[in-house]
Every structure is written in structure tokens, then in C-alpha cells.
Structure 1
Amino acid sequence: MNDMIDIRGAMLEVAHWPSDAPRGDAPPILMLHEGLGSLGLWRDFPQRVAEASGCDVYAYSRIGYGRSDPFRAPRTPAYLHEQAQVDLPAVVAALGLERPVLFGHSDGGSIALIAAGSTDLALAGVVVMAPHVRVEAVTLRGIEAAARQWACSDWPQRLARHHRDAPAVFAAWRDTWLAPDFRDWNIEHLLPAIACPVLAIQGEDDEYGTMAQIDRIAAAAPEARLLKLPGCGHVPHRDCPDQVLDAVAGFVATL
């Protein structure tokens, strides 16, 4: 069963996967889910990360997601910054994590990069899969296509298995990214301030972003390495799990 922690008056679900063969010098890993994700939607991947890396792995559902408390206010275009600069440091403190590796997917990857580039969190490293550092036309087209699929499929019922309020989760994601005042969202100016190593992973067939996203990370972050995966879409840990696990284990071993 998952635990609950109080973060600024909201109860968030969290879970911990200890490594079966821990390395004494291995940093903890904190996983940050994507824009429609939750703790539960990681499925068995956190345990596989723990086994491959020798690290203790933690994950949580952000407010409004999974079994965490519902959204408390309408989402604003600053929501990724709010999560990275306010809620994430509070989660790290509540879990007692020292120099963790932030491991984020999509929106979670953007949150990890913002935190690394604009907060005083002490981090051992950052791993991002399919992150966004700016808004691209392909991202908006992908979300528009997702909205059409949402309206004429069983997707709402399937997503409801993983969230208290799946329609609210989907609407927050769709409406924020498609809002005119979000078109200029960009975090590239934060990348040069990232003081820890970064591993950025992107699928060549990602329906929500191009390879330019991680190329921009490599160009701006002081210590970044890239993994580009052919035949892989927006969910590398589903499409190419073994390659992702090998890369993460190798990255963590160098920290």
C-alpha cells in the first residue's frame, strides 16, 4: 500500500522501492510522472530502476493526480514552475532525501529541469525522458489529436482507474498547453544554471516533441549526455525499457 504525506496542507500519495542489492554510495532516485500520469501509472518500472541501479527509488502523485488530494485551484501557465520550485522541494524534505537524482518523464522532466536550474536543491543528477524545454507545434498537434481521441473512445474510463478525477486531470493538461498565453513558455534560460550531470532521453518517433528538445539541453546545460532512441515514441520506458534501464544504471554509476 502507498503512503501519504502532507505537503503544504495537501495529502500526496508516495511509494518507495528499496533496492535488493543497494550500493552504499548510490543516491536515491525520485521519479516525477508526466502530464496525465500518476504514481500507479509507472507500474513496475520504479522497481526495475531500483534493481538495475542499486538505488532506492521513490515516486509520488502530484496534487490532483492519482490518489492524491484534488486540485485546489485552477491551473495557471506557471504550474510547472510552481511544482518545481515549491512542491518538489517540500516533497524532497518530507521524504528525507539527500542529494537525490530527479527522474522525470515529459512534464515531470520539465519540472526536474526547472528545479535543477532555479532552486537550491542539492541534486546528484537529473534524468529526463521526453522533456519539454519549449512549446513546439508538434506538441500542440499531439494534444489536439489526444483531445479528439478523448471525446470518442474509452480513454476516460481507462484513465479513471488511475486518478480520483480523470476528467479534471485531462482538462488541466489539455487546456493549459493549448492556452494562447502558454505558447511562449520556455525554460531554456534556466539550463546553464544546472550544476549536476543530466541524462536526456528522447524517442525519435515522439508524437509530442522533436529531438530539438534534448539537443537544446545538450547545448545549454554544462554537463549533459543524450540518448536518442529510434522506433520510440513519447514513453521511452514503455517502448524501450531495457535501453532506458541500461542508460540510467550507467549514468547513476558515474555520479
Structure 2
Amino acid sequence: MTLDWAAGSGRLSAGGASLEWSTWGSAPGRDPVIVLLHEGLGCVAMWRDFPEALARTTGCSVFAYSRAGYGQSDPCALPRPLDYMTREAKDVLPDVLDALGAERVFLLGHSDGATIAAEYCGLVADYRVRGLCLMAPHFFTEPQGLEQIARARDAYSNAGLQAKLARYHRDPDCAFWGWNDAWLSDGFRDWHVGEVIDHLRIPSLVIQGHQDTYGSIAQVDEVVDRSYAPVEILVLPDCGHAPHLEHRDAVLMTIVEFITRLERIEAAEVETVCKR
């Protein structure tokens, strides 16, 4: 069942769970829809005013949803399996995109959401997806990233992070421990999904903060070295793990240029085919 875009928000069924969603901009039409996939502790509300600015700046429709265990969506079973991002890509995101009812889509993911977006395009043949925007993606674990996640555990238990997350998640324990326990489990140290990049056949834009403590430039290099399709890069100085919040204008401008260029190329290809 296609969701009611005009409602602005609602719930949809995907992967066996009821998930919250919100929209910005006009209903899907000729222009593509940008689908936002949030970070490991994120949700619809934690995108703040970025989706509205994205819709206004690009002229595209924008759609965001909270995965199970986050925001106001249904809780998830704990502990999360170590391949939870792969399962989100294969078992949940297809249902979300079907409910969206858009003919053309750009996936824009942040952190865990970027990994899920890349896995989807590397594992699922979906010709609706025209391009990928990956902000602070991770394809393998790094010592400094695991150290930062361990610090987050202390902050959640002792430094007020639980109260902060409770403003956004109806079950902050589910949101936090589902993410934190998975990343800090012994089995996750060998986690590596870089092979999905080998199967990407659409252009990617990778955005990374130079001071990101969760992942290094090595994550960007993984995409550049392995992708068969074109890759564009934006590395931002004086920027941590949230480029869209820390350097919003630069991120918006780069995304606009990326989408505009791909739209122009696709239009030219269609015109050439028609003339033949």
C-alpha cells in the first residue's frame, strides 16, 4: 500500500514492524525522491531541519523514516544480530521503497544509514535508485571508532546521554543498547562489508568529516578503490561525524550539484535514445 504523502507523516509496515515516517516537499512526481537513512542512534526527529532545507534547496521530495528500535517506530528484539545492517538493507528497505511509490530515488544515508544504503545497492537490483549519497559511511571496524563507541557507553550510563536520547526515542534503551552492544561485541571486530561496493553500478557521493572519530578516510578510500561506478568525494575540514549538521551549507550545495548533474546526464541519455 502506497503511503499518503500529503499527510506529512504516518506509519508504514516494513520488515514486519510498524515504522514512523515523515515527508517534506511536494508529492513524488517527475523529480526524484531523496530517501534519508539515519545513523545508529538517529531517527526522523534527529535529522532536525536538514530534510526541510534539503527539499527547499534541491527542489526534490524528501522522505525519512525511523528503523525499528528507533524514534517512535516499533521496538526491535535485542540483542541485534551482528549483520543487522545487512538485514535492514535486504529485508526492510525494499518494503519501505515499495510503500513510497516513487519511480526514481536517491538514497542518502548517514553512518549506519550510509552503510545500509550501500549494502542495498550492492545486494539488491533496484533500478529506481539513481544515486547514492554516503555521509560518514563505515564498511569495516577501526580501533578509534570502537573506542568512541565504548566512550558512548559510559556517557549513556553516567553522563546524561540516556536523557538526551529519551527526548527522541520512545525506548532509548532499545535504541542505544541495540547499537552499542552489537558494535562492541567480540564478533563485530572482524565485521567487513566492503565487498558490496564491488557491485555498485550507480554513482556515489561520499562525504566525510576530517575529524570524524567514528571512522577515518580509509572508509572513503574503500569506496574509491572498489567501486566500478563513478565516485565523488567531499572531505570537510574541522568536521566530525555529522557533516550535514556541522557544515550544512557545504553539504547541501554538494548534494544539489551531484543530483543536478546526474539528472542532466539521464535527461540527455533519454533524449538521445528518443532521437534514435
Q: TM (normalized to structure 1)? A: 0.95
The corresponding residue for 1:225 is 232
Q: Check the 8 A contact 2:13/2:19 in 1, yes or no.
A: yes
Question: What do residues 155-200 of structure 1 show as CA deviations (whole Å, max 9, x unaligned)?
Answer: 1111101001101211111110011111111111111210111000
Find out whether 1:103 has 2:108 as its counterpart.
yes
Kindly report which structure 2 residues correspond to 1:53-132, keeping only aligned pairs within 5 A, or say none: 53-72=58-77, 74-122=79-127, 123-132=129-138
Identify which of 145, 154, 177 aligns with 2:151: 145
Distance in 1, matches of 2:98 and 2:24, equals 18
Number of the residue aligned with 2:162: 156
1:190 is matched with 196
- Provide Cα deviations, 1:21-62, integer angstroms capped at 9, x if missing partner: x9x753111000000000110011001111111110000000
Corresponding residue for residue 234 of structure 1: 241
**1:68 partner SS:** coil
Structure 1 unpaired stretches of 5+? none
**Does the alignment pair 1:18 with 2:25?**
yes
Q: Which amino acid aligns with 2:225?
A: A
Tell me, yes or no, if the aligned pair for 1:19 and 1:51 is still in contact at 8 Å.
no
Query: For residues 54 and 168 of structure 1, what CA distance do their matches in structure 2 show?
Result: 35
Deviates most, 228-237 or 164-173: 164-173
Structure 1 window deviating more from structure 2 (55-64 vs 6-15): it is 6-15
Residue 136 of structure 1 aligns with an amino acid whose one-letter code is E
Q: Unpaired runs of 5+ in structure 2?
A: 1-7, 263-276
Looking at structure 2, the residues matched to 234 and 19 of structure 1 have their Cα atoms a distance apart, in angstroms, of 30
Q: Aligned partners of 2:213, 2:192: CA distance in 1, in Å?
A: 19
CA distance in structure 1 between the partners assigned to 2:220 and 2:15 by the alignment: 33
**Partner letter of residue 17 of structure 2?**
A
Structure (1/2) with the larger helix percentage: 2
The correspondence for 1:177, drawn from 158, 178, 183, is: 183
CA displacement at 1:141 relative to structure 2: 0.7
- Residues 57-94 of structure 1 show CA distances to partners (whole Å, capped at 9, x for unaligned) of 00000011100011145310110000011100110001
Superposed displacement of residue 9, structure 1: 3.2
Pairing partner for 2:55 from 24, 38, 50:
50
Distance 1:60 1:68, change over 3 A: same
Distance 1:141 1:73, change over 3 A: closer
Matched, 1:134 2:140: yes
TM-score (norm 2): 0.88
Deviations 1:221-241 (A, max 9, x none): 121111000000000011100
Assess, with a 3 A threshold, how the Cα gap between structure 1 residues 31 and 254 changes in structure 2: closer, same or farther. Answer: same
Asked if 2 retains the 8 angstrom alpha-carbon contact of 1:26 and 1:252, the reply is: no
**2:16 aligns with one of 6, 9, 14:** 9
